[in-house]
Structure 1
Amino acid sequence: MPIPAQAIRNPAAAGRFYPDDPLDLKRQIQTFIDEVTEEPVEGDVLALVVPHAGYVFSGSTAAASFKYIADLRVDTVFVLSPSHFDPFQGVSVYTGAGYRTPLGVVPIDQACARSLVDYAPDVFSATELGHREEHGIEVELPFLQVLLSPSWQLVPIVMAERSSTICRRTAEAILSVSEGKQILVIASSDLYHGYEYEACHASDERTLQHIEQLDPEAFIQGLETEVYQACGGGPIAVAIHIALQHGPCHTKSMAHTTSADISGRRSGYMVGYGAVAIYKVEEEHIGLNDEERRQLLTLARTSIEEEIGAVSARVSSDEVSDQLQHARGIFVTLRFQGQLRGCIGQVQTKTPLYETVCQAARSAATHDPRFQAVTPEELNGLTISISILSPFTPTKNKDRIQIGRDGLYIRRADMAGLLLPQVAEERNWDAETFLAQTCQKAGLWPSAWQEPETEIFVFTTEEFGEKET
């Protein structure tokens, strides 16, 4: 049965999970917030993982994350919960007018909620199933009502399934319908459920550590094998997927406790509670100065001369700046009389930048399988350019790829390929051609980028080189 447009979902957990008196509720939340001592995160919060038990058990843990969104201005908050009561298929979104708590009615962003169903009708349904008695969304709302700046709206989502496909599609749908909006994602989840105190702490530690790795696919696999425990594992995976689409992210575990620790009883049934913030960090640009660029180009040339038989002095780490000690992915490209003569790079490395440049230059001159090794006679006509790679950012949206700015790295299982930004620009490719060509570079078929199993990453480069003579 369709949800009436003016329907208000009334509280199901007030008076049981949290106070039903508005003044008592505000007072308790403020007490939790005031007692938080954890240092705030240094970045823009994109998503929070918070527990959903009764406030007496998990309220202080939830507050450890919620405190750092105080006065945050957002348009829409997507709160995702597992379904504890209703069995159904896929994902349920409430499209009525609001969700009521003792602090008032939280308005629903009905346009976004309905658009989810339109975008992915195979995943989403507009139904009260999952919402009627569910506490997983409701218990988070009073914190949001107290802390967020006014005018935000809610999209309440309950997940009855948490397969990798469902999680990925849910994230894609949320990103699509919220484009242009400032959003916050709340993943409502408790952790361990069981009877052994030591196992509870060990399981929660594993689970929280893996959440911090920001690998949603591996996280879902670990839930299926019970290496990790989180009743809201689906919402957590969705939150990670969404956060990663905003660029380089960091995580911080804000708090952890268990019902056994709160009650003081280490026997009987117990539940673990954790709070994690996922936040955006500004992309790190090395920003080399002219002297540092010149030094890298000199190192590249002397490394090539050394490799093909000329005599050159080695450079020690004491002779390079701190900037050149950072580990970054790079490519070294060689041209002879304007024509490509070799190109080799390191995508991921822990080696200092100056050493990586030396290694790649030697390989480009002698081990690029497309060319014979560079000879001493070619040195005078050889020009060298260096591309320093930014951190990779995952994407599934081809419209976000900007030709001339972005490079592509595509990975599927153990196959991977990379093309630098200038490749697409020099060949006048559009985004789809660029994707197809990068797939072929990875040894995949051209349309593989359209399939969910294929991972797509974009990156930018800082490029500089010798002048051709």
Structure 2
Amino acid sequence: MLSLEEGTLAVKTARRVIEEYVRTNKMPNVELPEAFKDLSGVFVTLKQDGDLRGCIGYPYPDLPLSKALADAAVQAATQDPRFPRVRSAELDRISVEVTVLSEPEPLKVKPVDRPGHLVIGRDGIIVERGLYRGLLLPQVPVEQGWGPEEYLEYGCLKAGLSPDAWVDDVTKVYTFQGQIFQETSPKGEVVEEKIDTALDRCEVRK
């Protein structure tokens, strides 16, 4: 777990990396404290006027957090296939969010019981079948108002599978948790987002 001070540093570092890379096409040198040397999964999310502008990251703890953070920041700004590359003129309108992930663990229940073992607002999911894989961060079903079954269906779609693939034994589902730090406005104060608080503001469809 990162402290708020460390989470603030993570967000500010992601922003600095993005701004320098977008303007110069060069990766800046990143030096961070000891806590960032641990292996960790991380995602960087960019939003513009409240809408998604890019989101890429590493689901598994294969890299030190400092490197994964910097790489994810650049990729979210320049390599998300859903969006054009971020331009320098946009930087002052983009808010940065960093989600630090726990290690994914398999959901060891019968496929039909999977919805009952997901906690909306706590669990992120990875749906995997052969070479197909899709990941949704814990905050996504809260923001979209999904219940557990819808969450699994959209996880399957993200993986390029049919929406009911989660009921098959050959489809694997993993869960993880995330610690979210985000700017309250572009270049603004950084806060730790409590997903259960966000859940209170959303209507979750059953």
Shorter chain as denominator, the TM-score bin is: 0.7 to 0.9
Please state whether the residue corresponding to 1:468 is helix, strand or coil: coil
Alpha carbons 2:8, 2:181 under 8 Å: kept: no
Aligned mates of 2:89, 2:131 — CA distance in 1: 39
Aligned mates of 1:400, 1:350 — CA distance in 2: 27
Which residue in the other structure is 1:388 paired with? 100
Which residue in the other structure is 1:297 paired with? 11
Q: Identity across aligned pairs (percent)?
A: 37
Aligned mates of 1:362, 1:308 — CA distance in 2: 8
Which residue in the other structure is 2:159 paired with? 442
Aligned mates of 1:313, 1:345 — CA distance in 2: 18
Aligned mates of 1:409, 1:453 — CA distance in 2: 14
Name which of 87, 92, 115 aligns with 1:398.
115
Aligned mates of 2:143, 2:23 — CA distance in 1: 34
Which residue in the other structure is 1:414 paired with? 131
Shift of 1:383: 0.7
Larger RCO (alpha carbons 8 Å, 6+ apart): 2
1:149-192 residue CA offsets vs partner (Å, 9 max, x unmatched)? xxxxxxxxxxxxxxxxxxxxxxxxxxxxxxxxxxxxxxxxxxxx
Compare CA radii of gyration and give the structure with the larger one: 1
Which residue in the other structure is 1:371 paired with? 83
Runs (4+) off by over 6 Å: none
1:180-233 residue CA offsets vs partner (Å, 9 max, x unmatched)? xxxxxxxxxxxxxxxxxxxxxxxxxxxxxxxxxxxxxxxxxxxxxxxxxxxxxx
Name which of 133, 145, 169 aligns with 1:452.
169
Alpha carbons 2:22, 2:88 under 8 Å: kept: yes
Matched pairs, number = 180
2:54 aligned with 1:342: yes
Corresponding letter in the other structure for 2:55: C
Corresponding letter in the other structure for 1:323: A
Corresponding letter in the other structure for 1:360: A
The equivalences for 1:14-163 within 5 A come to: none
2:46 aligned with 1:331: no
Which residue in the other structure is 1:358 paired with? 70
Aligned mates of 2:5, 2:52 — CA distance in 1: 26
Corresponding letter in the other structure for 1:463: I
Aligned mates of 2:9, 2:138 — CA distance in 1: 24
Aligned mates of 1:423, 1:351 — CA distance in 2: 24
Shift of 1:313: 5.1
Shift of 1:431: 0.7
Shift of 1:290: 2.3
Please state whether the residue corresponding to 2:161 is helix, strand or coil: coil
2:26 aligned with 1:314: no
Name which of 402, 408, 432 aligns with 2:149.
432
Alpha carbons 2:41, 2:63 under 8 Å: kept: no
Alpha carbons 2:104, 2:175 under 8 Å: kept: yes
Corresponding letter in the other structure for 1:306: E
Alpha carbons 2:121, 2:138 under 8 Å: kept: yes
Alpha carbons 1:338, 1:468 under 8 Å: kept: no
Please state whether the residue corresponding to 1:305 is helix, strand or coil: helix
Shift of 1:349: 4.2
Shift of 1:393: 2.1
Corresponding letter in the other structure for 2:118: I
The equivalences for 1:221-300 within 5 A come to: 287-300=1-14
2:186 aligned with 1:466: no
Shift of 1:291: 2.2
1:351-391 residue CA offsets vs partner (Å, 9 max, x unmatched)? 21011111001000011111111111111111100111111
Alpha carbons 1:330, 1:356 under 8 Å: kept: yes
Corresponding letter in the other structure for 2:59: V
Aligned mates of 1:315, 1:446 — CA distance in 2: 40
Which blocks of at least 5 consecutive residues in structure 2 are unaligned? Answer: 187-206
Alpha carbons 2:41, 2:101 under 8 Å: kept: yes
Please state whether the residue corresponding to 1:351 is helix, strand or coil: coil
The equivalences for 1:198-209 within 5 A come to: none
Please state whether the residue corresponding to 2:6 is helix, strand or coil: helix
Which blocks of at least 5 consecutive residues in structure 1 are unaligned? Answer: 1-286
Aligned mates of 1:438, 1:392 — CA distance in 2: 15
